[in-house]
A and B are shown apart, each in its own frame.
Chain A
Amino acid sequence: MYQLLLTNRYLTSRVIPLLAVAAVALCVALVIVVVSVMTGFLDMVKESGRTLMGDVVVGYPVAGIPYYEDLMTAIEAKPNAAVATAAIDTWGILRMPYPDGNAKETEAVQIWGIEPGRFNEVTGFEDNLHWQTTPEETRRWLIQDAVTRIAIDLAGTLTSDQKINILEEFAESGTTVREDLIAESETMSTEEWSRRLRTLGRFPSILEHVLSTEQMAMIHAEEPRLDDDGLVLEDGVNLSRGGRPAIVPGIHVSQGNSRTSEGDYAIARDGYWWMPRYEGVLTTIPIDSGGGMTEPESVILPFANEFSSGIFLIDEKRVLVPLATAQELTHLDEALLVDEDDPTRIIGKDPARATMILVRANEGTTPDELLVEVEAAYEDFLNTLDRNDPQHVPIPTPGINPGLYMQTWEQHQASFIGPVEKERELMRVLFSIVYIVCAALVLAIFWSIVHEKTRDIGILRSIGASRRGIIGIFLLYGLVVGVLGALLGLLLGWLIVSNINLIHDGMGDPPIVLGIFLLSIGVLLAGWSLSRIRHERMLPSVLGCMISLPLLLLGGVITWAASYDAGFVMWDPKVYYFSVIPNSVDFMSAFVTMIGAVVFSLLGALIPAVKAADTDPVDALRYE
């Protein structure tokens, strides 16, 4: 009871214990931030991996699984399998539309051929499509594209008034006479008019001014994405654009996209390099049945949309195309088998193949449970096919073809997930050292408090306080410091973690206002401190100088960085393969951390407490 009173008074009337609380809080916040970010990172990697994978994957790389549709039927017949989809996984070269001119750049890409509707059902990849609507800044470019494509048709519909208006737009102001323009307009061919229109296409406002409503409608009919904002998303899901098979690359495949400090994406040159305006050329080298190379295959594909999975390694490499396109590119499509001696004689049919089957589990079924069913379904699939039928091609069989795999998404992504899991554990262990720091700090601070309070301890003993009671004071004190520190640390950690992207972006692009603010505070403080240096008490001016120094430094660095665009980017998405820093506190770990901090604070307080209890009251009271 008196322990509570004394703990309360010792805590509120001195600065030293507040330092102990601050030290504990900093330790706790440090661990919470690190573990939360690592845990969030791990969850994001896992979640992203799942988004792109479904729950279970059956695969046979390169050669592919024939009769995969039968396999999908066998899998979907299982009670806990919701839906299965076939896919092709291969590598290729994508010729990008940039830069302007003929020498285009290329990117090495991982090609995934997918069944648009089913892939979406298995992976929900609709949500990962980056362009949910047509971005505003691309409108003028879309109009220009449409005008360019239909310029000849448009030129044919121009009235003579419109022609004169167009010539006026091109003429330097006030230098021409209307009669001259009329004469000039009558001499120009349709091709010349279409060229003029193509030039005008760059200036949508002039275009709208010159052309009639009907003519504008022609332009909009040519580019439906101008009026239908959701079309780009629809195109992405269906992997088609204007009725043609299309390609959906990861957001980092194109150099035209760059991450802004807000964590969003900016398109280079104000929307000019928006991929869904363009077409790309996808090239692969198919592998023949003997494992050798054949002639490369190429296909021109319009870009339909772009996806961001949250895993940088995937977003910078993977492109999605329709399954049929990928099968053609890899020669895994259905083909006729001909007699080697007489190529005109058809001896059978080589079925289409898929290198992967992705399966999604029903609600409430774990991937591991589903895997068992999928393995059973594969057995069923093997059994239903008549092996003795000469028409049938061999099917990869477990135990015979080592390349055949059946895995849960976690197993499949183990190369991503494993290291992150290990890194988190490593961090947790390494940062546990701060507990010892915590205990050492509390020990040092409490030791000095006990030393300072020796007389109080003597007084308490003289009025009948027991040794246990004295230990109780300092243990209670340690407990309060630990609990307060842990709670403050939780608050601080939570504040840092939930604003971590803001903080990080601020570091990458520091606000000059903050720099100037810190600089001016620093200058004011330094001035005040220096002006007081001749006063009697030196501590305030020395303290002022010591505080103003880091303020000036920090303010200077921020101002310098802001004025020279030299921000400090710590979590470069090219190094950390997630584009946003995880920002949710892992409360389970935070709780464990807080308990640890309290326990170690108590341990740190124990030694000074026992020392206090051992104080000889006579010695303690002897001197004033």
Chain B
Amino acid sequence: MTSTNIILEGRDLQKTYRLGNVEVPVLKGASINIKDGEWVAVLGSSGSGKSTLLHLLGDLDRPDENKGSVHYRGEDLKSLSHGRRNAYRNRDVGFVFQFYHLLPELTVLENATLPGFVAWQGSRHVTEDGMERLKAFGLGHRLNHRPRELSGGERQRVAIARALINRPSVLLADEPTGNLDEQTGEQILDLLAAEHQRGLAIVMVTHDHSIADRADRVVELHHGVLADN
């Protein structure tokens, strides 16, 4: 149990990918601490391993055997059961991707409330919650549309609504504005800033300095290690 206000911690994370016979080390011992309610931007060039870092923090991927660990509220994710780790991805963190990753067959409302249903929460409660949030995000008229009918900015707002539906403590955002024009990107960042104001911790990876500047703190990923900027 380290410091009480550190909510998410990556310790000496190492990750190697195999490309045929060649081993490509992506992370070479990256460490990061995110405090409760803090907005951290991870700055790095393309292919620097930003996304991999985010996947490790969000338990979508695991570090190399015995090469680093991820701790959430002091608990090593490795020590948790499968069920608890699924619940971690479901409730404790929320993911936002560059390419939105909405399910094309579901409506906007269904997409936004999906994590609630995965968690077996009462359907009415989740649906009301989702509707409220989508309305707050300016998507009240789009509830029953399919993702393909929306603009990029609208899609990303649906993805953020989805990431927040189970009220996580940390939002993991992977280039959330990377696929949007500047003005729309600003709107998305404003939206994240507003959530941050309400106490949400955000880890946002980006290659764009101006975007990273919106965060409380910027760390730079270089040659597989992190350094405070």
Contact = CB atoms under 8 A, between A and B. Distances in A.
Interface of A: 1-2, 5-6, 9-10, 13, 455-456, 458-467, 469, 616-618, 621, 624
Interface stretch (B34-42, B99-107, B130-138): B99-107
Nearest to A455: B101
B114 A463 contact: yes
A2 B113 CA distance: 10
Interface string B57-98: 010110000000000000000000011001111110001010
Q: In the complex, which of the residues B91, B103, B110, B115 has the most CB atoms of chain A within 10 Å of its own CB atom? A: B103
Nearest to A14: B105
Interface stretch (B117-125, B193-201, B207-215, B220-228): B117-125
Contacts of A464: 86-91, 115, 118-119
8 contacts: A461-B89, A463-B114, A463-B118, A464-B88, A464-B91, A464-B118, A616-B61, A618-B60
Contacts of B103: 6, 456, 459
A5 B89 contact: no
Nearest to B58: A462
Nearest to B105: A9
Contacts of B162: 463
B118 A621 contact: no
Contacts of B217: none
B90 A463 contact: yes
Dominant secondary structure at the A interface: helix
Given A10-B105, A462-B89, A617-B60, A2 B117 contact: yes
A2 B118 contact: yes
A466 B119 CA distance: 10
B95 A1 contact: no
B110 to A, nearest CB: 7
Contacts of A5: 106, 110, 117
B55 interface: yes
Dominant secondary structure at the B interface: helix
A466 B82 contact: yes
A467 B83 CA distance: 10
B125 to A, nearest CB: 13
Contact of B114 (A2, A13, A458, A467): A2
Given A462-B95, A463-B95, A466-B86, A1 B60 contact: no
B118 to A, nearest CB: 5
Contact of A621 (B87, B97, B114): B97
A469 B86 CA distance: 11
B180 to A, nearest CB: 14
Nearest to A13: B105
Contacts of B101: 455, 458-459, 462, 621
Contact of B86 (A2, A456, A465, A624): A465
A458 B120 CA distance: 19
Contacts of B114: 2, 460, 463
Given A9-B106, A463-B115, A464-B87, 12 more contacts: A2-B114, A10-B105, A456-B103, A459-B101, A459-B102, A462-B89, A463-B162, A464-B118, A465-B90, A466-B82, A466-B86, A618-B55
Contact of A465 (B60, B99, B118): B118
Contacts of B119: 464
A154 B204 CA distance: 120
A5 B95 CA distance: 21
B97 A466 contact: no
B60 A466 contact: no
A471 to B, nearest CB: 13
A247 B117 CA distance: 80
A458 B55 CA distance: 12
A164 B162 CA distance: 109
A616 B82 CA distance: 15
A236 B65 CA distance: 95
Nearest to B172: A462
Q: In the complex, which of the residues A13, A462, A624 has the most CB atoms of chain B within 10 Å of its own CB atom? A: A462
Contacts of A2: 114, 117-118
B99 A6 contact: no
B87 to A, nearest CB: 6
A10 B106 CA distance: 9
Contacts of A467: 82
Contacts of A10: 105
Nearest to B95: A462
A465 B95 CA distance: 13
Contacts of B88: 464
Nearest to A1: B117
Contacts of A455: 101
7 cross-chain pairs, A with B, having the tightest CB-CB distances, nearest first: A464-B90, A9-B105, A2-B117, A464-B89, A463-B115, A624-B99, A466-B86
B120 A1 contact: yes
Contacts of A616: 61
Contacts of B82: 466-467
Contacts of B123: 1
A459 to B, nearest CB: 5
